Amino acid sequence: MPLALHKVCTAKLVETLTNGLQNLRVKNGIFLDDLSTAVAVFFAERALPATGRIREQMIEYVDHYPLMNFVKDQLSVKLQETQEYISEPDSIELAKLNGFEDSKLLAKYLVDEFCSLPVRHQSI
């Protein structure tokens, strides 16, 4: 059965994740920058329930940092599938990559997928 997150929670997740994704950086065109990913998802993660049945489900489905690891896994897969390796050492903003320009749409997609747990998630 999918996660039963309250609509207020999912709206907060989309809002905070949208803001965070605008600052997320990618190295070599396909690798998430760990620090910017952690910062990007930190405030959204705090919007999740801290205790209770839903929290226990999230830990069972993903781990103790469910949104952080879910978003990282999902974005890593999408980057590997849609982007090409670039040898330039400087990182670039995720939003500058083709297919990742709309941070709000991407945040909505990620939250919808997260709420579908455990149905579709496979960690790589």
**In-domain check, residue 2:** no
**In-domain check, residue 35:** yes
**In-domain check, residue 123:** no
**In-domain check, residue 62:** yes
**In-domain check, residue 60:** yes
Residue pLDDT, tens place only, 54-94: 999 999 888 899 999 999 999 999 999 999 999 987 899 99
Which residue matches tokens 């980057």? Answer: 79
| Total domains, the chain | 1
> Could you tell me the pTM of the whole model?
0.90
Give the residue numbers spanning the domain of 99. Answer: 7-115
Rounded to an integer, the average pLDDT of 7-36 is: 95
CB 4 within 8 A of CB 48: no
**In-domain check, residue 87:** yes
**In-domain check, residue 120:** no
Which tokens belong to 68?
Answer: 């952080």
